[in-house]
Amino acid sequence: MVRFSVLGSGSCGNSYIFSTDSREQTLFDDAASESSILVDAGYSLKQLKLRIADGGFDYDSIQSLFLTHLHPDHAHCAGTFARQTHKPVYVSRRCRSLASHEYLALSLPEGSERTIDPDSMVNVGPFEVSCFYTSHDSGGSCGYRIEVDGKVLVIITDTGVYNQEMVMAAKEADVLFLESNYDVEMLRRGPYPLRLQKRVAGDRGHLSNDQARSLLLEAGFDISRKHVYLIHLSSNNNTVELVSRAMAEFNATVCARGERYCGVV
Ligand SMILES: [Zn+2]
Ligand SMILES: [Zn+2]
């Protein structure tokens, strides 16, 4: 059984936790120990810990942190987390090799630096994690496919376009976390200057509700067996109602900005 939580999503902060009990047989006892991984850490460490505890998860069970990219709404406390816990923090190999200002600013202690690339799998306790590159204005941004206890969980966020690799990952997912950032009309009529509108809607921006819906349709997302969480809704250019309407035929949870959602698979 895998427990998971969208600890929060949207421009105010993004983070996800995945947790499983692994029973260890010892000579005298069989003790259940919880093992967890975190994807993104876009809050202050204090706020992140609160959200983890409120969701009924154990902060100390976190084995590793995986970052999708280095924008502050995803990586805000990654450095603090690593310096306090000395746990591994993964970014994509491309992201690491760019050695951007944002990466260096994380000040990861040497022992915490790890990379992941699409050709190989990373094993963290019972979790098998692989990544795929996304198209975003943050070098080496990526999404994740997590396999644990025979279940597949996939995160696709912060990408201006989607590709066949993402469609395949969505097809395989038992639980999918998919960006549904903006409504095209609302963005066009909204308060953003044209330059910013172009950034959001560009190839290296975010997924619109229409794009997210197309991805689900292309993946033949099986609504009788699977669940999708629509994440990273823009506060200026989208509403929960608009996303719910666009996704009416899917078994979907629309994640309001900043709210926490828990599930089990
Ligand atoms: Zn971003
Ligand atoms: Zn973001």
Cβ neighbours for 138, distance < 8 A, ≥ 6 positions apart: 69, 70, 71, 95, 102, 158
Residue 232 CA to residue 177 CA, distance in Å, equals: 10
Q: 155 C-alpha to center of ligand 1: Å?
A: 14
Tokens of 16: 């996800």
pLDDT of residue 251: 83
Q: Assign residue 232 a region: left if phi > 0, alpha if psi is -120 to 50, beta otherwise?
A: left
> Which residues are registered as beta bridge partners of 142?
133
In the predicted model, residues of the chain with pLDDT beneath 50 are none
What local confidence, expressed as pLDDT, does residue 223 receive?
Answer: 81
- In one-letter notation, the amino acid at residue 180 is S
Residue 104 CA to residue 102 CA, distance in Å, equals 6
Ligand showing the shortest atom-to-Cα distance for residue 139:
1
CATH of domain 2-19+32-260: 3.60.15.10
pLDDT digits over 6-45, tens only?
Answer: 999 999 999 999 999 865 555 555 556 899 999 999 999 9
Domain spans of the chain, in order of start: 2-19+32-260
Nearest-ligand number for the alpha carbon of 233 = 2
Mind listing the pLDDT tens digit for each residue in 82-117?
999 999 999 999 999 998 999 999 999 999 999 999
* The pLDDT value given to residue 209: 98
pLDDT at 27: 58
CA of 31 to the centre of ligand 2 (A): 38
Global pTM reads 0.95
